[in-house]
Structure 1
């Protein structure tokens, strides 16, 4: 398709978009009675309009049933997570039994590492991407210390080549093979939060398994954003937050994946709690932990009903879409158009004011472009905010813009490009 930097073209794309009406199911932030163009779903997704209704329903259950709500009503809390499991599984390419909504992301990362980071002898190292999100870095540092190792000895970080912004898959695989006798765990983020690079999860998982390592993924920026096939790729474990591309609200509940191949492994360590105990015997209150089958056996505390309700509201919208492929196709088209408009800004300015550090190949990115401004980056970002365009600033010099297919439009992208050009001209002229 020949892209055009015109409002008429953007409107035609929106008119032809089979997902266009889903935009009306979300609430947009306002300033002075004007909606923001919201391009920050990579940080916090918008609130679905149905969220209040779903939450109100659970508040009514609490009011009407009190403690009996665990077993009474049309959605007893005791089993509420099972409804979510059916809706989560297609989003991450899993079987329902392999997923469970629970806790928050870094808590789940720790719980899963208790089971899947088991250093022995000279095989004690963890390999990860350099520049991972700080929470992952801290979790991994503390886990290796817990096992008696120093982080600089036990953690292998893979960085881009000098002068490059993103990692090459071959460099990751080479580093895995170079340390094949020492790596116990391969643990990457599915999409790097800073650059927006989507790693080749299938190839990296295969490389990790070929050297006898366990492979896990933090899908904070990938779940609900790009199509992943955790079961088919043989991933050992994964976890994610749900408040970014899955719109479950600030600090929303997390989810975990454990491949079914591990369900019968009695040698896995785990930090146990009552809610992970065998469901049909849980209320006998007996000693001796017996895990519930599947991912549910990694639960520790009881169902977080209200956070699950927020997540459930958004998951129902994903279910209405019917096919993640539809979301992915629109995501590619929107992100391609955003890339085009930014390049058009550079052409109009006659300079390379903006450099996109996110990979150009759609197969290596999701609904995010990370942009470096050669001059006045923070001032330009603030200018976008003043013009009702809400993106995300990351130190020291990156503007992240994320056109989300559920609620963003081609017109959003076009207007962002026009605003970016006008703001840049004004700031550069005055500087």
Structure 2
């Protein structure tokens, strides 16, 4: 209720004018960070309006320097760069751990950067999806990101179960778009004895709904199930407080809100309570082996305590350099400041959308600040992708999702109040 009240206060202070947006930008303590990013431009050098950070974040200008440093050390040192580079490659992933842990609310022992998102989900399910003949079902949200669905379906098949029986969907009620926690409780009460794993998207890619991760963990654990979270649309956007949530595992990509480049490496979280359990099933590789004896080459696998033990191979340094560039900026700004601006900027966006005099538009993302990040999903009645193209023609980059939703993310690091005002003004013209 507190968050809803604060939104109402903000709405009463907002004004649907360019002058108001300019005034907000002038007093924004994070305004200088926009200049630290490459903003797409047209042929005449005019900046586009970019609202697609929930799909691919913009490139920090400093990223090139970070990558060039590693290219320089590779050229000058060859293999000795593993030890003598400015940022030695052997422990390079460790340079990322502390800053990433701050972003997702974890302890350093619980976090590692490795592989890509769905790969990490599979590796984690090897450890945390241990079905029996009677307890084998997996719960996902009904409109989960397709890769999550494919992953859990293939895990069920791999263990000899039919996904039609083993996959349970947490669905919105008829006529609604958002998930209700009480419906998950009902499902767990009815089928909890047969549920082995809850694998839930912490922020739904389609609606932008931010779910109560801690409550999900409580409900799942009460029925003896493991709980995993996909934070692809959450990391760098909301503050999931993974350690305190008590979820067993989580994974996320770094190329959306974390601005590390297309297809960049992903993050992985394993709760500290599992850190020293060497009996967990896992697919092992040498980079997860005890660092002191890793290069002796003759030892049985001895996992490093914590998330690092899920590593397989030595990591791609060039990708990690881009991640390091972004994480250093996040550490400089801090998630508290980013979240504060995000709430205000997205509330202003919502206010302007609601000011449009039409019955064709509906925001399906929650209004409650505690239940969303910076994404707003705008459903447009009787629209098709031609509306998205009209925005592109006006140099506005958003994200279209079938059948009739425009996903827009005003990212606090580089989007402005003027961006939001101009975008809504152009949307009105398109309608």
Q: Shorter-chain-normalised TM-score: which range?
A: over 0.9
How far apart are the structure 1 equivalents of 2:315 and 2:99? Answer: 17
CA drift at 1:158:
1.0
TM-fit CA distance, 1:343: 1.1
Contact 2:73–2:86, Cα closer than 8 Å, also in 1: no
| Pairwise CA distance, 1:379 | 2.2
Q: Which runs of 4+ in 1 moved over 6 A?
A: none
User: What secondary structure, in the 3-state scheme, does the structure 2 residue paired with 1:185 have?
Assistant: strand
Distance 1:311 1:301 in 2: 18
| 1:72 to partner: Cα distance | 1.2
Work out the CA distance in 1 between the residues paired with 2:177 and 2:390: 26
Match 1:68 to one of 80, 92, 95: 80
Matched, 1:24 2:31: no
Q: Kindly indicate whether the alpha-carbon contact (under 8 Å) linking 1:54 and 1:313 is maintained by their aligned counterparts in 2.
A: yes
**1:293-340, CA deviations, whole angstroms, 9 ceiling, x for partnerless residues?**
21111000112101101111110110110x311111111111111111
SS of equivalent residue, structure 1 residue 101: strand
- 11-20 or 219-228, which deviates more: 11-20
Q: Which residue does 2:274 correspond to in 1?
A: 262
In structure 2, the residue matched to 1:303 is: 315
**1:225 is aligned to 2:237:** yes
1:10 paired residue number: 21
Give CA-to-partner distance per residue, 1:176-220, whole Å, 9 cap, x none: 222121111111001110111111111111111111111110000
Tell me how far apart the structure 2 counterparts of residues 335 and 173 of structure 1 sit (CA, whole Å): 30
Partner of 2:429: 422
Map of 1:429 onto structure 2: none
Q: TM-score, normalised by structure 2?
A: 0.96
Local SS of the residue matching 2:76 = helix
Q: In the aligned structure 2, how far is the partner of 1:204 from the partner of 1:292?
A: 29
- Which residue of 373, 376, 379 maps to 1:369? 376
For residues 196-345 of structure 1, the aligned pairs below 5 Å read 196-321=208-333, 323-345=334-356
Task: Identify which of 73, 95, 104 aligns with 1:92.
Answer: 104
Shift of residue 287, structure 1, vs aligned partner: 4.0
Report the CA distance between 1:168 and its aligned residue: 0.8
Which one of 173, 179, 189 corresponds to residue 201 of structure 2?
A: 189
Is the CA contact (8 Å cut-off) linking 1:70 and 1:76 kept in structure 2?
Answer: yes
SS at match of 1:270: coil
Task: Specify which of 385, 390, 407 is matched with residue 378 of structure 1.
Answer: 385
* Equivalent pair of 2:278/2:303 in contact (CA under 8 Å): no
Q: Which residue of 2 aligns with 1:353?
A: 360
CA contact (8 A) 1:127 1:176 kept: no
User: Greater shift after overlay, 41-50 or 357-366?
Assistant: 357-366
2:150 matches 1:143: no
Name 1:396's counterpart in structure 2.
Answer: 403
1:155 match: 167
Taking the TM superposition and a 5 Å limit, the aligned residue runs for 1:97-108 are 97-108=109-120
1:427 aligned residue: none
What secondary structure is seen at the aligned counterpart in 1 of 2:242?
Answer: coil
Structure 2 Cα separation of the partners of residues 191 and 341 of structure 1: 23
SS in 1 for 2:90: helix
For residue 177 of structure 1, the aligned residue among 176, 179, 189 is: 189
For 2:375 and 2:113, locate their aligned partners in 1 and report how far apart those are by CA, in whole Å: 25
Shift of 1:74: 2.6
Q: Do the aligned residues in 2 keep the contact of 1:219 with 1:240 (CA within 8 Å)?
A: yes
Q: How far apart are residue 175 of structure 1 and its match?
A: 1.2
Residue 188 of structure 1 aligns to a residue in which SS? strand
Structure 2: how far apart are the matches of 1:47 and 1:177?
Answer: 46
Deviation at 1:124, TM superposition (A): 0.8
Unaligned runs of 5+ in 2: 1-9
Q: TM-score, normalised by structure 1?
A: 0.96
How many pairs align? 419
Point out where structure 1 has 5 or more consecutive residues left out of the alignment. Answer: 425-431
In 1, the alpha carbon distance for the partners of 2:205 and 2:90 equals 35
Q: Name the CA distance, whole Å, in 2 between partners of 1:289 and 1:376.
A: 56
Match of 2:6 in 1: none
Q: Which has the higher mean CA deviation after the structures are superposed, 71-80 or 213-222?
A: 71-80
